[in-house]
Structure 1
Amino acid sequence: MKRFFPVYVRVPVLFFTCYGILEYFIDSGDKPMIIAYPSVLALLGLILLVIIALEIVAKASNNVIEQLMTPEERAQKEALDNLPFSELPFIKKLMKKLTKSRAIEEEKEIEMDHDYDGIKELDNDLPPWWVYLFYVTIIFGVIYLGKYHLFGGDNQIQELEKDLAMAQKEIEEYKKTAPDLLTADQVVLLTDPADLAAGKAIFDSNCVACHRADGGGGIGPNLTDEYWILGGDVKEIFTTIMEGGRDGKGMVAWKQQIKPSDIQKVASYILSLQGTNPADAKAPEGDKVAAASAASQTSGNVANDTLANTNNQAPSAP
């Protein structure tokens, strides 16, 4: 058998079989098992060494046995090793059990009296493999009948509908928490200094050309007063940044350049600028929105001290 499965086939097959078994029983999440659990890598290395050691011992043992053989035994072993796969003793024995075939010399024993133009019929038994398979289909049929017709098991269409409903539910749950699938109705005012600092960095990279680094306004409106053209709530500011300003004029839409989760940080940072009153700020535009000022106090008070030093730094180029 070893000539049909040489060592360079046996070793990888055994190794990856062990790996597959470990991968199946060990839950490593999204990471590969050998990365999530480095100890498993050491175990696989040990398994590989054991397999190689067993192959070396088996090879050495065979060499010793061959040296102890008589010339006749060695010739008999060589003849056995050179047999085709189908002629190997255990293969022939297995096929005989599965087919119950008779040798040509024994066909006389099972000849029937029927003779059609010299063609005779043999009284062969059904091949065991066919009989076993027939029994399996009967058992399968009984189980199928019981599950789907007696006990109300789901058919394929019902299983599909349930799977689709479950998948849709999982998608909706994922959308509730996925940071880059934020919609305006999910946006909340962020007050964490790290989020506001991240929003400031994005603002400095993309917004200062029109609104100035201090938010006092240039080409674009002043972002530090209580007057807003398109609404001063954090959700409205988020929508304005995402979709852009008024048609034909105003700010462009940033949804293709900035992720929704980052736009939320920028909107929160903008509200933290409320009441900072920078020098030479642009005149108010739009309508006064008192709620924006009140809502921004939470973030403005927390963030002003944290961002005081960074607000005075030179803005980066847009």
Structure 2
Amino acid sequence: MKKYFPVYVRVPLLFSIFFFAMEFFIDSGDKPAFVKYPIVILILFLFLFVLIAMEIVLKATNNILNSLLTEEQRKQKEIEDNLPFTQTPFYQNLMQKLVRSRKIEEEDELIMDHDYDGIKELDNVLPPWWVYLFYGCIAFAFIYLVRFHILGHDDQTTEFEKEMAEAKIAVEEYKKTAPDVMDKEKVTLLTDAADLAAGKAIFETNCVACHRADAGGAIGPNLTDNQWILGGGVKNVFNTIMEGGRAGKGMVSWKEIIKPSDIQKVASYVLSLQGTNPADAKAPEGEVWEEPAN
């Protein structure tokens, strides 16, 4: 085995198995176990040290034993060392343990009395590898039962839902400081109650002086009828708020004061007031606007 799996393969392999086992059984959250629990990395290095020490001792022992062999024994050992892997004693013993096969000459010992139309069966045992796998499945099921149904650890669905919730919070936090890329070409009409409420709050803070609280118009035009000086629809209303009214007169540009995504909310709120007909509304101005056909 050592010929095919030298120390520089065996040690890292065993080290990795030990490491991943600890990562699996130690619940360290979103951090590696050796970061959250420094004692783990100490155990890992101690384990690695023991493995290397064992390799050194075994190699020294083999050298001593080789020096005690006779010439004939050395030749025999050399022949065994040069055998193909499938012919080595290690492989042969391993396969025998895994399948527990019997030689053809031993068939008489295995044949059963049961006879059906001249067909007889052999009383072979189940292959040990199958039995070990079956027991492994039982152990896995037990660990799964204890971990998820008794101890209440998060299953995949719960983990996904938690990560999605965390991602949603992260996106909302990012939006607070992210550059606003809304423009006239991308803007769409919002109808969600929360968005309209936000638009109303901004309108009442910045727009009532010229348009009144009910948008019936004062210095500025009436926003509740179907006539618009610079065009109706969400794109035109958005652009008017963003860039301002007619040059030299009319509304100022709000793009330096209100960010584009909030202007979208104000424009959507204004359009939600269409047809409300407030009392003492200002006379219509501009041209009748009709949404173009898609």
With normalisation by structure 2, the TM-score equals 0.43
Q: Normalized per residue, which structure has more helix?
A: 1
With normalisation by structure 1, the TM-score equals 0.40
